[in-house]
Amino acid sequence: MFIAVLYGYEMSVALLGGFDHYRFFERWFELGFVVYIYLTSYLILKPGRWRALQAALPILLIYVVQDIFYHFYGKVFRIIEVLELPELLQVLPLTYSIPIVLILLLPLLWLIRHINYQKRLLILIGSAPLLAIIVLLEFMPQGYTSLIDNHGNQITTYSDSFSVINNGRLTMLFYREAKRIEALAATHPYRNRDTYTAENDQVAAQLKQHSNQRNVHLIVLESFLDPTLFKKARFSQDPVHPDFTTLFGDQLGLSISPVFGGGTAQAEFEVLCGTPAMERLTSVEFNLFTGKSAECLPAIFNRLNYRTVATNAYRPNFFNAIPAYKGAGFKETYFPREYAGSNPTYYSNGDDADDDYIFDGALFTQNAAFVEQHMRDHPDQPLVNYIMTVYGHTPHILDTTKRPELIQVIADHQDEHLQRATNQFYYRTQAIAAYVRKLIAIDPQSIIIFISDHVPPLLYGPTTYEKLDYLDNREALPHLNRLMVIENGETKLYKTTHHYELNAMVYNYISGGDYCHNNRCPHLKPETAIAKEDYLEQYMRLMAHASE
């Protein structure tokens, strides 16, 4: 009956937009946890008609806490979040926070009141497995993570919620805590907050000395694939919108992403934090961010009195976005109204969302209005305006009622995803051109950077790129992505760079060229580039503080 009730609860939560329940009976570790806790609770309780329900309360409370948290904050609850629960409850209106506290507290008090404290030995024996898990997590976390990695269901690196669906709430609650403890141990030699802060204070001071206080618009485009880079593909008409061609002409550059086909957060990490995503501590660095300052690009600009704003076009729980953006240094983070829960936001998917992915043009229009409002309300405060788009994500679904297919791809190797992505590219380039024109009109003295997070996997992965000679199959295939830069209303073409070297481009612009006189700037001087491995100490120090 307990398992049936738990399954019914998960079905209900799924219908309300929570975690799916489809792998419920395949989560062996989770079932083991819940049965153990249920039986232990049952055995130490006093006899009574409500004994079975009381025994189920610990599990139900743990599930309810995580589901409430997921519903309101759009991310998966982690044990470390307990330290922030008082603050999080303050964010909620009293009409939500008071009932939540009562719903959680009253059943717990009811349970404690009915424990048979005469059964000391049984209580001790029943607590032993839980204590063993706590000891394992604290002192041998790798033992637990290895157990789940090797014998559990798939851990989905790009989404905590999918991992919960695959393995269960309790299993992943412990798993993420074990991962956090592992990371803390690995980064311990690099953790000196005072020294780290002082180093970044020095960077900010150098920039401030020559700062022009101009706005920075940094846009990471989801799966922005330029089909004209396929040498063995032809098209029924030009896949580049004429407005985009007029704006950029041949001033389109390239940057090397750390990922292919997926892993957006890895590209974001490099763009924002200025170090390679080396995956020494985890497969996705953002997943280890706790919200503590990692001193990335936004944190540097906070010292220069900038308003630092991140706009993410998808759900807050993907890639640990909320703690990651906070740790990177953003003071404000916005998500679509449809996913933001109780958090404030300035934009909405509206009727331009297709398969949950808001069209670039709809997002850019609302962001441009936001920028214009900022410049009216805060004329003396410069802005870092960061956007992570989502349109163009695999499988490249087109809303043909608004954006009909106009272009046919002609090639010996057929890939239907490339066909759709090509048509998306036409409309996306139109949207980019319109957005840039608007930004230049309201903010002519600024830097605007567009960069793709990664190229999409398409239907056949790297095979399509190889068969159609993407960029002549050069060495970095298929990690090369489009890079577009506009400085003071003029397009700029820079040498091929890495995503993690864009920080230098921004800092150099803000300092009027002074930054690159004293620091490495591979986008201007390729000979100053260093190997990825030479970033290891910088990477470890950053991650040491990001994962505190």
pLDDT tops 80 at residue 69 = no
Q: How confident is the model at residue 65 (pLDDT cuts 50, 70, 90)?
A: confident
- Reported as type and span, the H/E element at residue 415 is none
Q: How confident is the model at residue 319 (pLDDT cuts 50, 70, 90)?
A: confident
What is the rounded CA–CA span in Å between residue 448 and residue 546?
27
Residue among 15, 102, 536 at smallest CA distance from 279: 536
pLDDT tops 50 at residue 91 = no
Sign (positive or negative) of CA dihedral 132, 136, 137, 138: positive
**Maximum C-alpha span of the chain:** 83
Q: Do 268 and 453 contact (CB within 8 A), yes or no?
A: yes
Task: Give strand pairing partners of 235.
Answer: 409
Sign (positive or negative) of CA dihedral 511, 512, 518, 523: positive
Torsion angle, alpha carbons of 32, 34, 39, 44, to 10: 130
What is the rounded CA–CA span in Å between residue 136 and residue 145?
10
Task: Give strand pairing partners of 357.
Answer: 354
Q: Do 485 and 447 contact (CB within 8 A), yes or no?
A: yes
What is the rounded CA–CA span in Å between residue 184 and residue 116?
39
Between 78 and 168, the higher pLDDT residue = 168
34 by DSSP, 3-state: which? helix
Q: What are phi and psi of 215, to 5 degrees?
A: -75, 150
Pairing of strands 253-256, 480-487: antiparallel
Task: Give strand pairing partners of 480.
Answer: 256
Residue among 387, 279, 284, 288 at smallest CA distance from 332: 387
Q: What is the DSSP letter of 261?
A: S
In this prediction, residue 70 carries a pLDDT of 78
Q: What are phi and psi of 461, to 5 degrees?
A: 65, -145
pLDDT tens per residue across span 166-218: 999 999 999 988 988 888 788 889 999 999 999 999 999 999 999 999 999 99
What is the rounded CA–CA span in Å between residue 539 and residue 533?
10
pLDDT tops 90 at residue 83 = no
As given in the structure block, the two tokens for residue 192 are 């000196």
Over residues 286-314, mean pLDDT: 95
What is the rounded CA–CA span in Å between residue 51 and residue 172?
28
As given in the structure block, the two tokens for residue 20 are 């799916």
Angle between helices 120-139 and 169-187 (to 10 degrees): 50
Over residues 507-536, mean pLDDT: 92
- Reported as type and span, the H/E element at residue 340 is none
Pairing of strands 446-452, 215-221: parallel
Rounded to the nearest integer, the mean pLDDT of the chain is 90
In this prediction, residue 275 carries a pLDDT of 96
In this prediction, residue 84 carries a pLDDT of 58
What is the rounded CA–CA span in Å between residue 334 and residue 329?
14
Residue among 105, 14, 1, 130 at smallest CA distance from 55: 1
Domains and CATH numbers, the chain: 2-187 (no CATH), 191-546 (3.40.720.10)
Task: Give the position of tokens 């040491």.
Answer: 544
Amino acid at 234: R
pLDDT tops 60 at residue 261 = yes
- Reported as type and span, the H/E element at residue 230 is none
pLDDT tops 50 at residue 237 = yes
What is the rounded CA–CA span in Å between residue 506 and residue 483?
13
Over residues 292-315, mean pLDDT: 96
In this prediction, residue 103 carries a pLDDT of 79
Task: Give strand pairing partners of 308.
Answer: 384
Q: What percent of the chain has pLDDT over 90?
A: 65
What is the rounded CA–CA span in Å between residue 164 and residue 173?
9
In this prediction, residue 459 carries a pLDDT of 87
pLDDT tens per residue across span 437-491: 999 999 999 999 999 999 998 888 888 998 999 998 776 678 899 999 999 999 9
DSSP letters for 151-197: HSS---TTBHHHHHHHH-HHHHHHHHHHHHHHHHHHHGGG--HHHHH
State yes or no: cis peptide before 395, omega within 30 of 0: yes
CB atoms within 10 A of CB 280: 13
- Reported as type and span, the H/E element at residue 213 is none
Task: Give strand pairing partners of 484.
Answer: 450
pLDDT tens per residue across span 96-130: 678 878 877 888 898 889 999 999 898 898 889 88
Q: What is the DSSP letter of 201?
A: H
